[in-house]
Amino acid sequence: MRTRFAPSPTGPLHLGHAFAAMVAHDMARAAGGAFLLRIEDIDRQRSKPAWEAQALDDLGWLGLTWDEPPLRQSGRLDAYRAALATLWARGVLYPCTCQRRDILDAASAPQEGGGPLIGPDGVVYPGTCRHRPRTGPLPGGVALRLDMRMALQGIVTVEYHETGTQPGPRSVPAETLVREIGDVVLARRDFGTSYHLAVTVDDAAQGITHVTRGADLTEATPIHVLLQRLLGLPTPVYHHHRLIRDGTGRRLAKREDAKAIRRFRDEGAAPRDIRRMVGL
Ligand code: GLU
Ligand code: ZN
């Protein structure tokens, strides 16, 4: 068994991160497996080396150990580009130059039934740029979207196994991906990749057998499983864990002011206090 914790170094670790890290760590240790780290720093504007250093320090203080040097996504752009080239050659990507505003306007155009559909990445893309040519070399410096309907040709369901809060086999119909997820961005103009592509390529590169992460990412998982099929990568088991909430029920991940592990440390808390606070 190989698990991982994949923080984005855009702020301090809080109880939600500590919980995610401990779930992944404990699962690997209980099985005699390996626990790995990945620094998800593709957003160069928001990622700061100081946050990364603090995160590693907090994880060590919590008593967690990792078995390989952390993988840093900012050093993996060639691997993402290679995956994009594979998908481009299959004709399932197209360039998109829409602004957020264009997408909202097109998706909100009068039609039967309410407002725009919201997927894991926000408004489901209305397909404005789908007609653009897909020939020639892989374009750079432009956003690339997955043509979901094309990508799912010959696929009836996307399947994986879940061991988290609602364990069991999952079978997501292709039609659901087309309707509720749509043409997601696999390369952002500014980063040359996207969360979905990077996480899929890197989980495979790190040989992750069990992906543990918050239940807020459950609806993104079929995208990753589909990408694994398209890229010939293995599908890990998925374990979506409960989310840590504050006293008023708000998810810590949604709060800018969530109390940092650093502050608990400064106030004299011990690692076992942190474990107790998150119910471990
Ligand atoms: N970097 C992501 C986050 O901090 C985690 C992604 C994942 O575990 O798949 O939310
Ligand atoms: Zn577009």
| CA-closest candidate to residue 39, choices 79, 71, 13, 61 | 71
How is residue 276 written in tokens? 């107790």
> Which residues share a beta bridge with 241?
214
Q: How remote is the CA of residue 100 from the centroid of ligand 2, in Å?
A: 9
Which ligand lies nearest the alpha carbon of 100? 2
- Every domain of the chain with CATH number 3.40.50.620 lies at 1-75+245-280, 76-205
8 A C-beta contact, residue 107 and residue 116: yes
pLDDT at 48: 97
Answer CATH for 1-75+245-280 from 3.30.390.50, 3.40.50.720, 3.40.50.10800, 3.40.50.620: 3.40.50.620
pLDDT at 257: 75
CA distances from 67 to 30, 60, 195, 225 (A): 14, 12, 24, 26
Q: How remote is the CA of residue 114 from the centroid of ligand 1, in Å?
A: 31
Residue with tokens 């969530």: 258
**Which stretches of the chain drop beneath a pLDDT of 50?**
none
8 A C-beta contact, residue 224 and residue 172: no
DSSP 105: H
E runs forming strands in 71-228? 71-72, 93-96, 118-119, 122-123, 143-146, 157-162, 168-173, 185-187, 210-214
DSSP 14: B
8 A C-beta contact, residue 20 and residue 241: yes
pLDDT at 247: 79
> Mutation test of ligand 1: which of 23, 199, 203 has the most ligand atoms closer than 8 Å to its C-beta?
199
Report which residue type is found at 242. R
Residue owning the nearest CA to atom 5 of ligand 1: 6
Task: Report the relative pairing of strands 34-39 and 2-5 from DSSP bridges.
Answer: parallel
Give the separation between CA 83 and CA 85, rounded to whole angstroms.
5
pLDDT at 112: 56
> Looking at domain 76-205, what is its CATH homologous superfamily?
HUPs (3.40.50.620)
Q: What is the pTM of this model?
A: 0.95
Which ligand lies nearest the alpha carbon of 102? 2
40 CB near ligand 1 (under 6 Å)? yes
Q: How remote is the CA of residue 233 from the centroid of ligand 2, in Å?
A: 28
Residue owning the nearest CA to atom 4 of ligand 1: 7
Which ligand lies nearest the alpha carbon of 55? 1
pLDDT at 4: 98
pLDDT at 195: 97
CB atoms within 10 A of CB 128: 17
pLDDT at 111: 64
